[in-house]
Amino acid sequence: MIIRWGPENIIEENDQFLVVYKPAGLAVQSGRASQTDLEHLLLNYLADRRGDARASSPRIFVIHRLDQPVEGIMVFAKTAGAAAALSSQIQKQQITKEYVAVVGGIPNEREGRLTDWLRKDGKTNAARVVQPDVPGAKKAVLEYRCLEKLPEGRALLGIRLLTGRHHQIRAQMAHAGWPLLGDQKYNPKADANKKDFPALCAFRLTFRHPRTGKRVSYQTEPKGQWFRECKFFLNGFLNSEEKLPESID
């Protein structure tokens, strides 16, 4: 499958950071020389922009990650100072990451919170819900809102991460009985013969500008195939003033 990425996927660029859209299937960073990743695509973009072979090589700093099969918004720092400021916000949970997902199953409540303990299995690269006392278990918390009930027992959800664990949304949704459509790893009903990506998009990212401290927010429209059937409902949410709750406590 061809993954297309170009400068049109850059949402914001200034002297401090880049906000970009990552397509599903593109790795943020790759340890394999033969595999293209977003980090090097951005470095090539910045180098081409300079157009001066004598200029020093551009630098970018990876602040957070997004699963390779998941699409959505990411921020990359362009300076060491910006990287430190943004990384500090990540550690203090001051960066808000909001997602939309299409799941199989409909939650009983319109909105709620999921709290689980996840353990990463290095052999399968999967996260599993385990008991809190299992070695390596990490607390995982997210909040969700059912944005629309869809045909065939499906639902469009808005999700806000309160922690950042490996495959957190995918694992917690599956454990709750609402696996993501197209998720080959966590949805037992996904068609293994199809090269589908999970119906998950990091659609909004909110943080404080690393230099001014002003709160900034960026948003994108999901492009995955699973969102096409709920495009009417999805666009209504994305273009409205409705926001996911800061907290439902």
Neighbouring CB atoms inside 10 A of 20's CB total: 23
Residues 6 or more apart whose CB falls under 8 angstroms from that of 35 comprise 27
* Residue 190 and residue 182 in contact, taking contact as beta carbons nearer than 8 Å: yes
Bridge partners for 72 per DSSP? 22, 202
Active site residue ranges: 67
Pairing mode, strands 154-161 and 61-62: unpaired
> What does 92-127 look like in DSSP terms, one character per residue?
TT-SEEEEEEEEES--SSSEEEEEEEEEEETTTTEE
Residues 6 or more apart whose CB falls under 8 angstroms from that of 82 comprise 16, 17, 61, 210, 211
CA distance 105 to 153: 5
The three-class DSSP label of residue 37 is: strand
CA distance 210 to 99: 23
CA angle 42, 85, 28 (to 5 degrees): 30
